[in-house]
Amino acid sequence: MDFKRVKTDTLAVTRNMNEIMEPTGNVYESVAVLSKRANQIALEIKEELNSKIAEFATPTDNLEEIFENREQIEIAKYYEFLPKPTLIAVHEFLNDQVYFRNPHHESQEE
């Protein structure tokens, strides 16, 4: 997923608790969903970053060559300016782009 194209806030903003609570009916459950999704996004970004940086790494690099590698620096700068995983997760959650379910609620309905 191209996280740079996600149209979300780049800074933390105050949110309406009722909006966050609405999809699940419980603030704590919503926060749990958000945290799990943010962890997924962070892991995905980390794996993508590591794979891109690994392309430039050579086994014979010494410490000076690692610090002077311009390609790695540019890649790292790109990822620094991405929205934070938590902000992306909130954006997806509020726009109904996150699938979640609670097995506990499903067992009570039966």
In a domain, 93, yes or no: yes
In a domain, 5, yes or no: no
pLDDT tens-place string over residues 55-68: 776 666 565 655 56
Q: What is the extent of the structural domain holding 28? A: 17-109
In a domain, 88, yes or no: yes
In a domain, 70, yes or no: yes
Give the pLDDT confidence score for residue 39 in this predicted structure.
96
What is the rounded CA–CA span in Å between residue 84 and residue 80? 9
SS3 71: helix
SS3 95: coil
Give the pLDDT confidence score for residue 43 in this predicted structure.
95
In a domain, 22, yes or no: yes
> Would you say residue 106 has pLDDT above 70?
no
In a domain, 11, yes or no: no
Minimal CA–CA distance to 39: which of 89, 106, 92, 105? 89
Tokens describing residue 75: 């890649």
pLDDT tens-place string over residues 16-37: 899 999 988 889 999 999 999 9
SS3 25: coil
In a domain, 91, yes or no: yes
User: pLDDT grade, residue 4 (50/70/90)?
Assistant: low
pLDDT tens-place string over residues 71-100: 778 888 888 888 889 999 998 999 888 888
Q: What does the buried/exposed string (b/e) look like for 32-53 if buried means 16 or more CB atoms within 10 Å of the residue's CB? A: ebbeebbeebeeebeeeeeeee
